[in-house]
Amino acid sequence: MNLPISITSISSISPLGSTLNDTWENYCDPKHHFSKMDIENGEIWISVLAKTAKTEIDLLRSSEPKYRQLDHTVLYAMLASRKAVASAEWQAKDNFGINIGSSRGATLLFEKYHKEFLAKQTTHTLASPTTTLGNIASWVAHDLQTKGPEISHSITCSTALHALLNGVAWINSGMADKFLVGGSEASLTPFTIAQMQALKIYSREQGEYPCRAMDLEKKENTMVLGEGAAIACLEQGTKKNAMAIIAGSGYATEPLEHSISISTDAQCFQRSMKMALGSTEPNEVDVIVMHAPGTIKGDMSEMEAIKKIFGAQAPALTTNKWKIGHTFGASGMFSVEMAILMLQQQRFIPVPFIEYTNTPKKINKVMVNAVGFGGNAVSILLKRPD
Question: Pairing between strand 42-47 and 5-13?
Answer: unpaired
Would residue 151 count as lying in a domain? Answer: yes
Verify that 214 and 267 share a domain, yes or no. Answer: no
Domain boundary, last residue among 176, 206, 236: 236
Helix ranges (DSSP H) in the chain = 20-27, 51-63, 72-88, 107-120, 135-144, 159-173, 190-198, 267-277, 296-310, 321-324, 331-345
Position 138 scores a pLDDT of 96
* Judgement on whether residues 141 and 275 belong to the same structural domain of the protein: no
- Say whether both 214 and 251 belong to one domain: no
Strand ranges in 148-237 using DSSP code E only, listed in sequence order:
150-151, 178-185, 225-226, 228-236
User: Is 270 found in the same domain as 183?
Assistant: no
- Based on the domain organization, do 82 and 17 belong to the same domain? yes
Co-location of 270 and 360 in the same domain: yes
Q: Give the pLDDT confidence score for residue 257 in this predicted structure.
A: 65
Residues 263, 168 share a domain: no
Average pLDDT for consecutive 10-residue bins of the chain (386 residues)? 88 98 98 92 93 97 96 98 98 95 95 94 93 93 95 96 98 95 96 94 96 97 98 97 98 74 84 96 97 96 96 94 98 98 98 96 98 90 96
Quick one: 17 and 105 in the same domain? Answer: yes
For the chain, what is the domain count?
A: 2
Distance in angstroms (rounded) separating the CA atoms of residues 251 and 165: 9
pLDDT at res. 259:
55
40 and 128 share one domain = yes
State residue 128's pLDDT score.
93
Q: Is residue 132 part of a domain?
A: yes
- Domain C-terminal end among 206, 236, 266: 236
User: Both 70 and 177 in a single domain?
Assistant: yes
Specify if 259 maps to a domain: yes
Q: How many CB atoms lie within 10 A of CB 239?
A: 17
Per-residue confidence (pLDDT) for residue 256, from 0 to 100? 67
Beta-bridge partner residues of 47: 226
67-100: b (≥16 Cβ within 10 Å) or e: beebbbbbbbbbbbbbbbbebbebeeebebbbbb
- Give the integer Cα–Cα distance in Å for 372 and 266: 12
State whether residue 220 is helix, strand or coil. Answer: coil
Shared domain check, 56 and 120: yes
Residue where a domain stops, chosen among 190, 216, 236: 236
Rounded CA separation 324/50 (Å) = 11
Residue 241 maps to a domain: no
Range(s) of the domain holding residue 333: 247-383
Residue 168 located in a structural domain: yes
83 in a structural domain = yes
Residue 242 within any structural domain of the chain: no
pLDDT of residue 42: 81
| Rounded-to-integer distance, Cα 214 and Cα 206, Å | 17
Q: What is the CATH number of the domain that holds 377?
A: 3.40.47.10
My answer on whether 254 and 290 are in the same domain is yes
Q: From the CB of residue 209, how many other CB atoms can be counted at a distance below 10 Å?
A: 21
